[in-house]
Amino acid sequence: MFSLELTFINEDGEKTKLTVDDPRVDLSTAEIEQAMDDIIAANAFTSKGGSYVSKDSARIIERNVTEIEIA
């Protein structure tokens, strides 16, 4: 399972994260940056510290889960 973690800076200057489950794994840096710019411009999300005002970082996280059967 993959997730895309986008980190923004809010109005208070604090980092805040937005996570997207199951993103396309072939996303380009340009596509991710454009999506982050669009989120900021649309003022689509806010956090405790206010609206997102700038981009900080992004990363794709791969999570592997192994179920353990307990008898």
Q: Which of 5, 9, 60, 57 is nearest to 33 (CA)?
A: 57
Give me the residues of the chain with pLDDT under 70, please.
none
Asked if residue 15 is part of any domain, the answer here is yes
Contact yes or no for 11/51 (Cβ under 8 A) = yes
pLDDT at 8: 98
Q: How many CB atoms lie within 10 A of CB 8?
A: 22
pLDDT at 25: 82
Q: pLDDT for 4-24, tens place per residue?
A: 999 999 999 999 999 999 999
Asked if residue 69 is part of any domain, the answer here is no
Asked if residue 10 is part of any domain, the answer here is yes
pLDDT at 42: 97
pTM value?
Answer: 0.86
What domain range is 52 assigned to?
A: 2-62
Asked if residue 8 is part of any domain, the answer here is yes
The count of domains in the chain is 1
Give the H/E segment covering residue 51: strand 50-62
pLDDT at 71: 87
Asked if residue 68 is part of any domain, the answer here is no
Q: What are phi and psi of 40, to 5 degrees?
A: -65, -50
